[in-house]
Amino acid sequence: MSTRSMTPSRLVVALVAAGVIGGAGATFVSGSLARAAAPAAAAGAPITAATTPAVAPVIAPTDFTQIVQRYGPAVVNISVSGMKKVAGPGMPPGLDPDDPFYQFFKRFAVPGGQGEREMPVRGEGSGFIVDPNGIILTNAHVVAEAKDVTVKLTDRREFQAKVLGSDPKTDVAVLKIDAKNLPVVPLGSARDLKVGEWVLAIGSPFGFENSVTAGVVSAKGRSLPDDSYVPFIQTDVAVNPGNSGGPLFDSRGEVVGINSQIFSRTGGYQGLSFAIPIDVATRVRDQIVAHGSVRHAKLGVTVQEVNQTLADSFRLDKPEGALVASVEKGGPADRAGLKSGDVILKADGKPIVASGDLPALIGEASPGDKVALEVWRQGKREEITAQLGDASAKVASAATGGDKAANGRIGLALRPLDPQERREAGVDGGLLIEGSGGPAAMAGVQPGDVLISVDGTPVKTVEQVRAALAKSGKSVALLIMRDGNRIFVPVRIG
């Protein structure tokens, strides 16, 4: 219904089988371009290349008037309404049943306690027509939990819309209105976009219908926390609440994205906007129109970024790839032989530079497809082929005594887990971290964490930890479990 804000995350752990949700975003940073004046040459002095400084060419911003005039009528305003349950006050004590206010409070409260009541909620967003017979694309969060959806065209006609389908994983929804011969927008491809290229957004920020903002592409293929399936287009186009679901045009007048999210500390636009590539939205639309639902592929791993310290620990040439933090028991990756500590470098020949590249590539596939993975394991490359599963399918999960020991080199006090602790943690081995200091504490390791492996080698005893540390160089990668999540923590010890 409104633009969704996003806060920074210190450590992004993207579950490849997880989904995504969006908010809306785009903005225009205006500025004047001035030609720098060259200093005048001395009288009578010959003008040579050495005395004439080079002047950078001035590139004028793109004129978007033709795009707005031609395709603006295909951009719609979406109003939604529904009911939301909210906590209400309890019945006032001592109120007489004959009191006229008794029935009033009885309708909205639970006597003697905190009740719940329904309140009407309303919201606005944007969308665009992709079929002259009334098919409209917008964001899933615009129509989430809406009971009534009204679409208003630029000619002021209004239609009640039916939600054909909504996919929270990609934040794409498909609507249908009962109308014919409607104006439509042409669809392009985000693959053709270049960083620095001018782009245009049309939408209804704060209810101001068909507002136009412009900017440039800031980056491509951005992965955001909890939005694993979408390689977002980052722009500096002004997007605010109400822009959600509106189109992002390139300079050729083709829609290349759906404005979805903004990065903001205030709730309003702050120069960082994100759009869902139209290629992703088109695949979702086709499935919804054909089947009424969307199926997503799943690899079944949790991945994290490879920084320089982790690259040193795993003896990688450079900090690239998706580091596998955990593997879903019985999932596609588990069946293919992927292990925690593997670094996925390529998928179907496409390089994985940032960890977010992997879920975006998996999101382009379908359940049942096979994907060839190039993996870095124990200092060498291996080829693994995995058959992708269905993200909606349920997978059944399966769930030594010793003295305390401290390792002064890394700063950990460890002891093996007892059988009950192993069952609660859902691990076969591991050691409880009872104390953390020195390099480990500086890296963020905390008492209560469970140490699973060192540099990819599983550990069950303190002696195994000592042996693994003896082989390490100036840094070591610790796989720890915290609050049920597995993450690699790079620790510099050299």
Residue appearing with tokens 């944007």: 126
Domain CATH for 487:
2.30.42.60
pLDDT of residue 61: 61
User: In this structure, are 266 and 369 located in the same domain?
Assistant: no
H helices within 82-145, ranges in order? Answer: 100-108, 140-143
Strand partners, 273: 235, 262
Is residue 438 packed enough to be buried (19+ CB in 10 Å), middle (13-18) or exposed (0-12)? middle
User: In this structure, are 413 and 488 located in the same domain?
Assistant: yes
Q: Which candidate, 244, 195, 198, places its Cα nearest to that of 222?
A: 195
Tell me if 307 is assigned to some domain.
yes
Tell me if 239 is assigned to some domain.
yes
Q: Model-level pTM?
A: 0.66
**Is residue 260 flagged as an active site residue?**
no
pLDDT of residue 127: 97
User: In this structure, are 286 and 301 located in the same domain?
Assistant: no
Cα 386 to Cα 75: distance, rounded to the nearest angstrom: 41
User: In this structure, are 163 and 261 located in the same domain?
Assistant: yes
Cα separation of the two ends of the chain = 51
Tell me if 40 is assigned to some domain.
no
Q: How many degrees, rounded to 5, is the angle at CA 359 between CA 353 and CA 365?
A: 115
pLDDT of residue 469: 83
Handedness of CA 40, 42, 44, 46 (dihedral sign): negative
Cα 224 to Cα 297: distance, rounded to the nearest angstrom: 19
Domain boundary among 294, 314, 340: 294
Domain boundary among 294, 309, 333: 294
User: In this structure, are 79 and 209 located in the same domain?
Assistant: yes
Query: What domain range is 210 assigned to?
Result: 1-29+63-294
pLDDT of residue 103: 55
DSSP-based three-state secondary structure for 153: coil
Cα 216 to Cα 233: distance, rounded to the nearest angstrom: 10
Q: What is the DSSP letter of 48?
A: -
Catalytic residue among 2, 126, 141, 166: 141
pLDDT of residue 35: 21
User: In this structure, are 321 and 386 located in the same domain?
Assistant: yes
Query: Number of folded domains in the chain?
Result: 3
Tell me if 398 is assigned to some domain.
no
Cα 154 to Cα 161: distance, rounded to the nearest angstrom: 16
Cα 250 to Cα 58: distance, rounded to the nearest angstrom: 20
Domain boundary among 263, 294, 325: 294
User: In this structure, are 346 and 335 located in the same domain?
Assistant: yes
pLDDT of residue 418: 78
User: In this structure, are 186 and 108 located in the same domain?
Assistant: yes
Q: Which candidate, 224, 226, 246, places its Cα nearest to that of 169?
A: 226
DSSP 478-489: EEEEETTEEEEE
pLDDT of residue 473: 75
Strand partners, 489: 478
Distance of CA 431 to the CA centre of its chain: 33
Tell me if 165 is assigned to some domain.
yes
Cα distances from 42 to residues 46, 49, 51, 180, in angstroms, run 8, 14, 10, 71
Q: What is the pLDDT along the chain (494 residues), one digit of tens a residue?
A: 445 544 333 333 332 332 332 344 332 223 322 222 233 333 334 434 444 455 555 555 678 999 999 999 999 999 998 877 655 555 555 555 555 555 555 555 544 445 556 777 788 999 999 999 999 999 999 999 889 999 999 999 999 999 999 999 899 999 999 999 999 999 999 988 999 999 999 999 998 999 999 999 999 988 876 656 788 999 999 999 999 999 999 999 999 999 999 988 887 888 899 999 999 999 999 999 998 889 999 999 888 889 998 999 889 999 999 999 888 888 899 999 999 899 999 999 999 998 888 888 888 888 999 999 999 998 899 999 999 998 876 543 332 334 444 455 678 888 888 777 777 778 888 888 888 877 888 888 888 889 988 888 888 888 888 888 878 777 888 998 888 888 889 888 75
Q: Which candidate, 198, 434, 163, places its Cα nearest to that of 285?
A: 163
**Is residue 244 flagged as an active site residue?**
yes
DSSP 351-418: E--STTHHHHHHHTS-TT-EEEEEEEETTEEEEEEEE-EETTS--PPP------EEETTTTEEEEEPP
User: In this structure, are 279 and 309 located in the same domain?
Assistant: no
Cα 440 to Cα 306: distance, rounded to the nearest angstrom: 18
Cβ-based neighbours of 407, under 8 Å, separated by 6 or more: 414, 462, 465, 466, 469
Q: Are 162 and 155 in contact (CB under 8 A)?
A: no
Cα 185 to Cα 455: distance, rounded to the nearest angstrom: 52
User: In this structure, are 381 and 241 located in the same domain?
Assistant: no
Cβ neighbours around 401 below 10 Å, total: 9
Alpha carbons within 13 angstroms on the beta-carbon side of residue 381 total 9
Work out the widest C-alpha separation in the chain, in whole angstroms: 107
Tell me if 186 is assigned to some domain.
yes
User: In this structure, are 440 and 472 located in the same domain?
Assistant: yes
Q: How many degrees, rounded to 5, is the angle at CA 178 between CA 175 and CA 180?
A: 110
Domain CATH for 95:
2.40.10.120
Q: What is the DSSP letter of 187?
A: B
Q: Which candidate, 192, 196, 212, places its Cα nearest to that of 204?
A: 212
Cα 217 to Cα 197: distance, rounded to the nearest angstrom: 5
pLDDT of residue 347: 94
Domain CATH for 318:
2.30.42.10
Catalytic residue among 166, 211, 228, 244: 244
Q: Are 365 and 297 in contact (CB under 8 A)?
A: yes
pLDDT of residue 97: 59
**Is residue 171 flagged as an active site residue?**
yes
Is residue 19 packed enough to be buried (19+ CB in 10 Å), middle (13-18) or exposed (0-12)? buried
Cβ neighbours around 364 below 10 Å, total: 16
Catalytic residue among 167, 171, 312, 342: 171
User: In this structure, are 376 and 418 located in the same domain?
Assistant: no
Question: The tokens of 13 are what?
Answer: 């752990």
Handedness of CA 204, 205, 211, 212 (dihedral sign): negative
